[in-house]
Structure 1
Amino acid sequence: MREKSREQSLSDSRELDGSYDPLTDSIAEDGELSTVCYRPEGVEQLLQQTKFTRRELQILYRGFKNECPNGVVDEGTFKYIYAQFFPQGDSSTYAHFLFEAFDSRKSGMVSFEDFVTGMSIILRGSVTEKLNWAFNLYDLNKDGFITKEEMTDIMRSIYDMMGTCTYPCMQKDAPKEHVENFFQKMDKNNDGVVTIEEFLESCQKDENIMQSMHLFDNVI
């Protein structure tokens, strides 16, 4: 029974990366397959759990496997990959927060399932799903509240990531001002924390935030 499950998992991973054609039951020769030590549970399951098509999952899996040949990514590798997109600044702290948001199982590793589930929400999720994902990112200790300290840490990490190559140049007190503006808008009862209800209500009333929620629709 276990061997059958292992064979099905291998078949699913080959279907994902495009080296397996389920219609002809043929397998392309691919030296990469020998390096993969972790494979997704199943294509059909991912089709049900995400809003990607089979072809889109294949594209995402190939890209993921090219960067992470063993099938999972640890935080160090995640930071290294993310740093390539922001060479002008220090993205390590923001990448740490982002890694924790993707690592929903708190395993210290991000699997393809973790990655593609998160990307499905970011790219194809409803506005409410996207906002819930963003709230989880900002809620660093995952206690259901965003504090000024947490938002300050997030904003500092973003400003560090953007670096000095911005115009106009960012002022040192910019993160603090951003946090104050955030809480003035979001903290409806002035208790010093922002709940998910306050976050959703405020964001859904903000035209700029709502427009930004659709920036990545239908990417890939």
Structure 2
Amino acid sequence: MNRKKLQKLTDTLTKSCKHFNKFEVNCLITLFYNLVGDVAERPGVVIGLDRNAFRNILHVTFGMTDDMIMDRVFRGFDKDNDGCVNVSEWIHGLSLFLRGTLEEKMKYCFEVFDLNGDGFISKEEMFHMLKNSLLKQPSEEDPDEGIKDLVEITLKKMDQDHDGKLSFADYENAVREETLLLEAFGPCLPDPKSQMEFEAQVFKDPNDFNDM
């Protein structure tokens, strides 16, 4: 990408992006094109990180291991659902992912956890996510029973209108009272350590990122 184009893209994305300054946007654009590699030069090819490349970043850089959650995070970034994260989705996604306000993070996490997109987190969805994220204990008991109990405890704590599922209002109220509940159904945001390492590295020299 030539300098003029890069500058224009940086200006445009800096204007529309709340949490990064111009230098940071520029670093993240550079990193994006480093990660995408040579694809950029071929005409008619959508330039972006496909699901596997993106999941690899989540896994290697941010320590995520849960396949289902990583898929949901990918969908959260891929706003136009075209199967890859383009440069604009990358910048806007990371803006929230790394530095979003509590409001932004609540909306994002809720969307990640609302697997079928109906505006509620149902018991089935909770069970599905908790089953994935909990370590299997080698015990005699049926592990599903323990997860069912956990779902009930979580509902008791978070389901304020007692309708057996979580609306965004239920979730928001619960998180405002107890911030740890933000990622109640699985880690879908970077932990502070990997966030700091990522930012320290990329906002120093994005070209060195692959050496991490």
Q: TM-score higher than 0.5 here?
A: yes
Superposition TM-score, scaled by structure 1 size:
0.66
Which residue number in structure 1 is paired with residue 33 of structure 2?
A: 65
Aligned equivalents of 2:4, 2:170: Cα separation in 1:
42
Unaligned runs of 5+ in 1: 1-8, 16-40
- The residue identity in structure 2 corresponding to 1:97 is R
Unaligned runs of 5+ in 2: 40-46, 183-188, 200-212
- Residues 86 and 135 from structure 1, CA distance in 2 versus in 1: closer, same or farther, beyond 3 angstroms? closer
CA-to-aligned-CA distance 1:159-217 (integer Å, 9 cap, x gap)? 3xxx67xxxx687445444433321111112212211111111110115457xx99749
Asked if the contact 2:69–2:112 (Cα under 8 Å) also holds between the matched residues in 1, the reply is no
Aligned-pair CA distance for 1:99: 1.0
- Residues 57 and 135 from structure 1, CA distance in 2 versus in 1: closer, same or farther, beyond 3 angstroms? same
Superposition TM-score, scaled by structure 2 size:
0.68
Which fold has the larger relative contact order, with Cα–Cα distance below 8 Å and residues 6 or more apart in sequence?
Answer: 2
- Residues 90 and 124 from structure 1, CA distance in 2 versus in 1: closer, same or farther, beyond 3 angstroms? closer
Of 60, 64, 68, 1:84 maps to 60
The number of equivalent residue pairs is 178
- Residues 95 and 208 from structure 1, CA distance in 2 versus in 1: closer, same or farther, beyond 3 angstroms? closer
- The residue identity in structure 2 corresponding to 1:194 is L
Is residue 54 from structure 1 mapped to residue 22 from structure 2 by the alignment?
A: yes
Between 1:54-63 and 1:137-146, the stretch displaced more is: 54-63
Asked if the contact 1:12–1:43 (Cα under 8 Å) also holds between the matched residues in 2, the reply is no
Aligned equivalents of 2:54, 2:96: Cα separation in 1:
19
- Residues 86 and 142 from structure 1, CA distance in 2 versus in 1: closer, same or farther, beyond 3 angstroms? same
- State how 1:93-104 maps to structure 2 within 5 Å: 93-104=68-79
Q: Which has the higher helix share?
A: 2
- The residue identity in structure 2 corresponding to 1:199 is Y
Aligned equivalents of 1:209, 1:13: Cα separation in 2:
42
Asked if the contact 1:155–1:175 (Cα under 8 Å) also holds between the matched residues in 2, the reply is yes
- State how 1:172-211 maps to structure 2 within 5 Å: 172-173=143-144, 175-209=147-181
- State how 1:32-181 maps to structure 2 within 5 Å: 42-50=9-17, 51-69=19-37, 70=39, 71-84=47-60, 91-159=66-134, 172-173=143-144, 175-181=147-153
Q: Find the residue that maps to 1:117 and give its secondary structure.
A: helix
Indicate the RMSD between aligned Cα atoms, in angstroms: 3.4
